[in-house]
Structure formats: structure tokens, C-alpha cells
């Protein structure tokens, strides 16, 4: 493995700025790494070697500046990228090359980031294991027989496999944080509206949020700062300054900070090893000077059923645009078929089983006579969950919990059991319903596999995540003798 692929994003940018390596050399080292290991990991759906080397050459010519100039990145395939295949993990968009860039993509280019390619994901971000991709599953670099989480398993796996130091994911119910937890990486869901959704292929418009995936908290903060900020093209974008996330990540001090342990997000349903690593991390926060108390958020236990009414309902509406007429797949058009027949045949062939399941569920929940009983009631529960957060933040600056109830499970173990799969998002969904920021960072190993700790903060206090994350990460690295990923077995390819 090239030493250049082992560097953090901060170290990579410094090496390029100091002339120790060129941006082209860095990009090529990562492309070479992808060529060696991605046949086994399958983190990427499309590798844009030509585009990556061209962007890197611009950096070497002095055309790109900024703290991440020349740093390679893997981009989740739900983020629109001009001229580059963008599928959202679905056959219905196979081969589609968008004519425009998402705001996130634009800001990455402006920051001088080198986009290596597009990463695998559960179709339309609907899943918790990346097994629902139309293009095959991604494997966890810690154990190739296990899942890397989902829906953004490709992004997390690319970072964990040293194929890229940075990645962008999207988080609707935990799709950044849960993959980070099971791959030993750092994943952040920013405050809803903190990062533009323009050009993000929609799953659930009131929940979707793009955010950073990285190997360190500081790397994540730098990427967060690069893509965040107001965008007039997104009506839900927050017109306010980006929280000082980089400064907070460098602070590494939690003295006097009030940390609330969420009573409802631990114990039953969480593997013993996961709970043990979480408890140890909480004790370490106390040793670092934080004040730890238990808080109760009684309506969190209803978050999972509420989410699985709200998200499918919005998906039912958003995915109606894939009608075989304007772009994407078109099946059954023999000249004699009606538009309805072509549309039906196209959706039957283009959508996978999980997407169909959620469209049917959402359509039912929105149907006449059932709207108030299902979707309306779920929105009321969402309000109660928001009130729980508001109340908890009166006595705590941040809340903590395990990021996922289990370590990575074997590929195929839960793919035919939707309810078991949905329960992987027990801890992450509440923050999406509330709209506040949340982070997963490595907390240790259970049975040789990574465990993630989740930090949640009030809306627009994303900096608190990085303050806690930076301090805890530094203390854990001191305890472990380095990053958790350093103890991962080398990939056998």
C-alpha cells in the first residue's frame, strides 16, 4: 500500500502544499489502491480516473487553493455530478449522465477536492447494509463477509479501505452514521438545511442531509466546512453562518460540558459488546472533565415506526418522477403499449424490492381515508420527539448513545427480514426527525469489529459535535496507541 493512501486529509493537503508530493501523485496512488482492492470491497460504482487526474493537475498548476486542495474524495452516487454516471444505486437511472452539478459537487470543486468517483449505496438510499444496491453489495474492509452499513456503505468502505481519505454520504435515517459505526470511521449528519440538498436525488425531502465521512474528526470538520452554507437554490437551506466546526475540532476540551446519556437508546436491543464500549467512552468523557447525567426522551421509542411512515410517504411522492418519459430507463415501449403500460413495466424492471416496498407503504399511508391515521399521526409523533430533544438540551449540551445496536453483521443475514434491518437505525433516526446534527466516531472493538459512539447536538450547534468528538478521539487514540483503523486486518485480495 502506498504511504500516500495512509495519510489523513490534513496530512495529504500538507504534503501537497509543502511539495512532498504532487496532487497528481496523490490521486494516482489512490486510483492504484482502488484498482487493487475494490474488486473485493466494491465501494465504487464508477471510477472517474480521467476527471480526477485532470482536477489534480489543476491543483499542481496552482489553480486550486484551500485547506483540502488536492485531497481525493469518494462521492456517494446519490449526489448529481455533471457528465458522470449517477444512478442512486438503481437500474432505473443506469447510464444517466446529469447535465449539471449538485451544490455539494460545485463546492467540492471550488475547494480543490479531487473526486475519484461515485460510491455504491442502497438503492435510492433505502437500506441499512448496501445490499439493496442494484449493482451488488459492498463489503466491510474489516471483514469482507460482512456488511459496511447503509445506505452509504460504499462511502464508508472507501474511507476504511484507504481508497480515499474523505467521502460524502447522505443521511436520511442514519445512512452516514451507521456505516461509520461499523467501519471504524467518522461520519456526520449536519443540521438539516446546513448543507444544500440541491442536486441530491431525493428520498425523503424533510429528512435527507448530505455530510462528511472521514478517518478523523478534524478531517470531517474541514470537509463539513467546505460543503456547508446557504444556497438560494434549496428552499430549506439555512441562511446563517456555518458553525465553527474546524475550530471546535481543534479545541479538544470538554471541561464543564454537560453530556446527557439517553436512557431510551441503550440496554435492550444493543449487543453487550456495543454497550460495553459505549459505557467505557462515557467514563472517559467524565475523566476528561465533562459532567455526565442520564436523560429521558420517552418518545424516542416511537421514532422507528414514525420514520417508516414519514420517509416512505415522501419517497412515494419523490419517486413518482421516474415515469419512463423524461430520463432514465424505458421498458415495454413496443409502439402499441399505452403510457401507463410503459410506466408500469419500467418501474417493475427498474425499481428493486426494497424501493417497491417503501413506495407501496408510503402510497398507502397517504391514501384517502388513511392519511390522518398514519402519516398525520406520525408527524405528531415527530413533534413529540422534537420536544424530547428540546427538553433534554435544557439539562445537557450534547446527548450520547451507541451509534448502532450491533457490529457489522454477515452479508445476507438480514436482507430478507425488513424489520430486523430497520432496527439497525434505532439510535440514529431520532436526530433526523428532529433535524439536529449528529456524529458517529469510533469507540473501540467488539469481537474484533468496530463500535461507534453517537453524539447529538441542538440545531445549528454542529460545532459541539466536533468539540466532543475531537476530545474523545484524542483520548482514545492515546489509549489505543493510534487510530482504530490501524488495528484493522490488511485486506486479502
Q: Cβ atoms within 10 A of the Cβ of 415, count?
A: 17
C-alpha 489: how far from chain center: 23
What range defines the domain where residue 200 resides?
Answer: 3-257+438-487
Nearest-angstrom CA–CA distance, 92 and 346: 8
pLDDT at 227 > cutoff 80? yes
The alpha-helical segments, DSSP class H, found in 61-127 are 103-110
pLDDT at 339 > cutoff 90? no
| Closest to 311 in 3D by CA, of 414, 443, 388, 422 | 422
Nearest-angstrom CA–CA distance, 150 and 451: 15
| Closest to 233 in 3D by CA, of 100, 344, 393 | 100
CATH of the domain at 236: 3.90.1300.10
326 CB-side CA count, 13 A: 5
User: Contact, 271 vs 446, CB < 8 A?
Assistant: yes
C-alpha radius of gyration, the chain, whole number? 21
Nearest-angstrom CA–CA distance, 109 and 102: 11
Confidence of residue 332 (pLDDT cuts 50, 70, 90): confident
Say if 414 falls within a structural domain. Answer: no
Give, as one character, the DSSP assignment of residue 243.
P
The pLDDT tens digits of the residues spanning 290-325 come to: 999 999 999 999 999 999 999 999 999 999 999 888
Rounded to 5°, angle at Cα 118 from 319 and 161: 125
Nearest-angstrom CA–CA distance, 98 and 102: 10
Residue 341's pLDDT is what?
87
**What cell was used for 81?**
455530478
Residue 10's pLDDT is what?
98
b/e burial code for range 469-491 (CB count within 10 A of at least 16 → b): bbbbbbbbeeeeeebbbeebeeb
Share of the chain above pLDDT 90, in %: 92
Q: Cβ atoms within 10 A of the Cβ of 345, count?
A: 18
Say if 377 falls within a structural domain. Answer: no
Report which of residues 2 and 350 the model is more confident about.
350
Q: Residue 115 belongs to what H/E stretch?
A: strand 114-119
C-alpha 224: how far from chain center: 12
pLDDT at 479 > cutoff 70? yes
Task: Indicate which residues carry an active-site annotation.
Answer: 76, 151, 175
What mean pLDDT do residues 201-217 have?
97
What mean pLDDT do residues 240-249 have?
98
Say if 432 falls within a structural domain. Answer: no
Say if 108 falls within a structural domain. Answer: yes
Q: What is the dihedral angle through the alpha carbons of 387, 389, 394, 398, rounded to the nearest 10 degrees?
A: -170
**3-class SS of residue 112:** coil
Q: Beta partners for 212?
A: 168
The Cα-based distances of 204 to 273, 334, 355 in angstroms read 33, 34, 12
pLDDT at 2 > cutoff 70? no
User: Rounded to two decimals, what is the model's pTM?
Assistant: 0.97
Confidence of residue 1 (pLDDT cuts 50, 70, 90): low
Nearest-angstrom CA–CA distance, 424 and 414: 10
| Closest to 408 in 3D by CA, of 98, 183, 93, 79 | 183
What are the backbone angles phi and psi of residue 406, rounded to the nearest 5°?
A: -140, 165
What are the backbone angles phi and psi of residue 214, rounded to the nearest 5°?
A: -155, 180
Say if 346 falls within a structural domain. Answer: no
Nearest-angstrom CA–CA distance, 470 and 424: 26
20 CB-side CA count, 13 A: 10
Give, as one character, the DSSP assignment of residue 146.
B
> In the chain, how many domains are there?
1
Rounded to 5°, angle at Cα 81 from 102 and 149: 90
Say if 290 falls within a structural domain. Answer: no
Pairing of strands 258-262, 398-402: parallel
End-to-end Cα separation, the chain, in angstroms: 12
What is the average pLDDT value for the chain, to the nearest integer? Answer: 96
Residue 485's pLDDT is what?
96
Say if 400 falls within a structural domain. Answer: no
User: Contact, 384 vs 306, CB < 8 A?
Assistant: no
**3-class SS of residue 122:** coil
The pLDDT tens digits of the residues spanning 410-465 come to: 999 999 999 999 999 999 999 999 999 999 999 999 999 999 999 999 999 999 99
Say if 274 falls within a structural domain. Answer: no
Amino acid at each position: 500500500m502506498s504511504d500516500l493512501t495512509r495519510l489523513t486529509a490534513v496530512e495529504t493537503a500538507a504534503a501537497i502544499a509543502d511539495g512532498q508530493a504532487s496532487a497528481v501523485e496523490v490521486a494516482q496512488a489512490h486510483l492504484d489502491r482502488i484498482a487493487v482492492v475494490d474488486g473485493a470491497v466494491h465501494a465504487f460504482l464508477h471510477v472517474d480516473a480521467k476527471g480526477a487526474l485532470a482536477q489534480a493537475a489543476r491543483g499542481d498548476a496552482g489553480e486550486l487553493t484551500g485547506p483540502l486542495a488536492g485531497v481525493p474524495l469518494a462521492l456517494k452516487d446519490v449526489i448529481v455530478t455533471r457528465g458522470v454516471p449517477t444512478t442512486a444505486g438503481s437500474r432505473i437511472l443506469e447510464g444517466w449522465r446529469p447535465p449539471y452539478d449538485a451544490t455539494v459537487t460545485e463546492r467540492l470543486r471550488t475547494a480543490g477536492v479531487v473526486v475519484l468517483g461515485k460510491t455504491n449505496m442502497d438503492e435510492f438510499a433505502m437500506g441499512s447494509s448496501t445490499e439493496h444496491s442494484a449493482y451488488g453489495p459492498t463489503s466491510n474492509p474489516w471483514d469482507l463477509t460482512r456488511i459496511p452499513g447503509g445506505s452509504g456503505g460504499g462511502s464508508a468502505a472507501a474511507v476504511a479501505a484507504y481508497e480515499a481519505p474523505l467521502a460524502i454520504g447522505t443521511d436520511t435515517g442514519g445512512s452516514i452514521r451507521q456505516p461509520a459505526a461499523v467501519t471504524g470511521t467518522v461520519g456526520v449528519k449536519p443540521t438539516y438545511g446546513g448543507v444544500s440538498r440541491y442536486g441530491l436525488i431525493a428520498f425523503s425531502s424533510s429528512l435527507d442531509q448530505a455530510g462528511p465521512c472521514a478517518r478523523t474528526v478534524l478531517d470531517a470538520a474541514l470537509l463539513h466546512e467546505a460543503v456547508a452554507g446557504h444556497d438560494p437554490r434549496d428552499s430549506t437551506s439555512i441562511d446563517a453562518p456555518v458553525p465553527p466546526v474546524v475550530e471546535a475540532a481543534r479545541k479538544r476540551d470538554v471541561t464543564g460540558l454537560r453530556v446527557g446519556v439517553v436512557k431510551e437508546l441503550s440496554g435492550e436491543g444493543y449487543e453487550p459488546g456495543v454497550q460495553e464500549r459505549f459505557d467505557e467512552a462515557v467514563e472517559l468523557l467524565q475523566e476528561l472533565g465533562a459532567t455526565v447525567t442520564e436523560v429521558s426522551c420517552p418518545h424516542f421509542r416511537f421514532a422507528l415506526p414514525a420514520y417508516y411512515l414519514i420517509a416512505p410517504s415522501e419517497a412515494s411522492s419523490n419517486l413518482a418522477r421516474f415515469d419512463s418519459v423524461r430520463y432514465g430507463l424505458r421498458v415495454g415501449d413496443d409502439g402499441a403499449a399505452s403510457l401507463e403500460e410503459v410506466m408500469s413495466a419500467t418501474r417493475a424492471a427498474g425499481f428493486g424490492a426494497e424501493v417497491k416496498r417503501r413506495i407501496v407503504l408510503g402510497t398507502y399511508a397517504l391514501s384517502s381515508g388513511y392519511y390522518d391515521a398514519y402519516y398525520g399521526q406520525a408527524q405528531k409523533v415527530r413533534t413529540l420527539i422534537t420536544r424530547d430533544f428540546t427538553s433534554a438540551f435544557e439539562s445537557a449540551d450534547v446527548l450520547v448513545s451507541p451509534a448502532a445496536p450491533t457490529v457489522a453483521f454477515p452479508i445476507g443475514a438480514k436482507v430478507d427480514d425488513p424489520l430486523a434491518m430497520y432496527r439497525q437505525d434505532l439510535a440514529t433516526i431520532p436526530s433526523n426527525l428532529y433535524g439536529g446534527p449528529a456524529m458517529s466516531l469510533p469507540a473501540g472493538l467488539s469481537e474484533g469489529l468496530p463500535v461507534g459512539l453517537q453524539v447529538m447536538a441542538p440545531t445549528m450547534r454542529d460545532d459541539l459535535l466536533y468539540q466532543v468528538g475531537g476530545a474523545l478521539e484524542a483520548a482514545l487514540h492515546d489509549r489505543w496507541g493510534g487510530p482504530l483503523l490501524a488495528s484493522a486486518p490488511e485486506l486479502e485480495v
